[in-house]
Amino acid sequence: MVDKKEPLLEVKRITKKFGGLTAVDNMDMQIFPGEVVGLLGDNGAGKSTLIKVISGVYHADAGEIFFKGKPVRIGNPMEALKIGIETIYQDLALAENLNVYSNIFLGREMLKKFLGLIKVLDHEYMLNESKKVLDQLEIEVPSLRNKIRTLSGGQRQAVAISRSIYWDAKFLIMDEPTAALGVVEQKKVLDLVRKLSSQGVPIIIISHQLHDVFSVADRLVIMRRGKKIAERITAKTTPDEVVGLIVGTLPGDYDNINNN
Ligand SMILES: Nc1ncnc2c1ncn2[C@@H]1O[C@H](COP(=O)(O)OP(=O)(O)O)[C@@H](O)[C@H]1O
Ligand SMILES: [Mg+2]
C-alpha cells in the first residue's frame, strides 16, 4: 500500500432507490492507491448497485463521488472509462467469436491506411500490443489468434483484465470474478489481482468466496440492506466475524449510533 492519506476514490452518502426500495442507503466508502478492498454482503445487500453507480450505469439519487479529491459526475459508463474506472462484470462482455487481440481492442479498434487510401484494421499492431499487455501481466493463453470461446473461464477473465489494463485502468472493479472458475483458475485470477495492486492499481472486489477475499483484500467493507455496517482490516478479523456481520448475528459498528 502506498500513500494512505488521500483516497483515490471516495463515495459520500450515496443513495440509490428503485421505486420504494432503497438498494443503497447513505453509503460512504474510500479506496486508497494500491489497495484491494473486498466489498461483502449477502445477496441483495446492494453491492452491485453501488458499483454500478460508481461505473456510471446507474445515477445516484443522492450523494457524491470524488476522484483524486475532486468531485466527479459519472453520467454514463463512457464517462467512468474516461476517468480510468474500469469495471469487469460477471459476464465479462467479451465477444465469443472474436479472437483474443480483437477483444482487447473491442470497440476501440486500430485502423491503418491501406495503399495510402482505405482504412483497414491493423491486425499486426493490435496483436503486438495485446502480446505486450499479456506478457506484462504474465498471462498465458494458447494463441492470441484463438477465438474467445475456445478459452477456459480463467483465461477469459484474464483477457478481460488485460483489456482494462491496456486501456489504462486507474481503478478496477470486479464483481464476482472467481464465481464461475475452477480452483486452479481462481488462484491465477487472484494472483493477477495481487499483481495489479502491486503495480498501484486499486481494486474493489466483490465475492461470495470468503477465502478468496481474505487472501487478496487489505480491507473489507461489509454491507447489509443497502448500508455499510462495518469495515475491517483483513488481517485483524476472521471469516467467522465477517460472516456474523454479513448475516446480522453480530451487530454492525454503527447499529447503536445515531446519525453516524
Ligand atoms: N434494476 C433494478 N430494479 C429494481 N430493483 C433492483 C435492481 N437492481 C437491484 N435491485 C434490488 O436492489 C437490491 C440490491 O441489489 P444488488 O445491488 O444487486 O445486491 P447484491 O449485488 O449485493 O446482491 C436488491 O433488493 C435488488 O432486488
Ligand atoms: Mg451483485
For the segment 77-98, what is each residue's pLDDT rounded down to a tens digit? Answer: 889 988 999 888 876 778 889 9
Q: Nearest-5° angle of CA 162, CA 151, CA 147?
A: 85
pLDDT 10s digits, 114-128: 666 667 678 888 899
Q: What is the mean pLDDT of residues 35-42?
A: 96
Residue 151 lies in a domain: no
Band the pLDDT of 109: cuts 50, 70, 90: low
Contact 178, 209 (CB under 8 A): yes
Q: Whose CA is nearest to atom 3 of ligand 1?
A: 18
Q: How many CB atoms lie within 10 A of CB 83?
A: 17
By mean pLDDT, which of 104-118, 121-135, 188-202, 219-233 is the weakest?
104-118
Cα separation values, 109 from 63, 103, 105, 254, Å? 36, 9, 5, 48
Residue 32 lies in a domain: yes
Residue 197 lies in a domain: yes
CATH of the domain at 234: 3.40.50.300
Q: Please work out whether the CB of residue 227 comes within 6 Å of at least one atom of ligand 1.
A: no
pLDDT at residue 117 in the model: 67
Residue 141 lies in a domain: no
Atom of ligand 1 nearest to the CA of 41: 22
Residue 163 lies in a domain: no
Domain that holds residue 193: 9-94+170-247
Q: What total number of domains does the chain contain?
A: 1
Q: What is the mean pLDDT of residues 191-202?
A: 87
Distance linking the first and last C-alpha atoms of the chain: 27
Q: Is 193 helix (H, G, I), strand (E, B) or coil?
A: helix
Q: Which residues surround ligand 2, an ion (CB under 5 A)?
A: 48
Q: Is 161 helix (H, G, I), strand (E, B) or coil?
A: helix
Output the DSSP codes for 227-248.
EEEEEEEGGG--HHHHHHHHHT
pTM score, whole prediction: 0.87
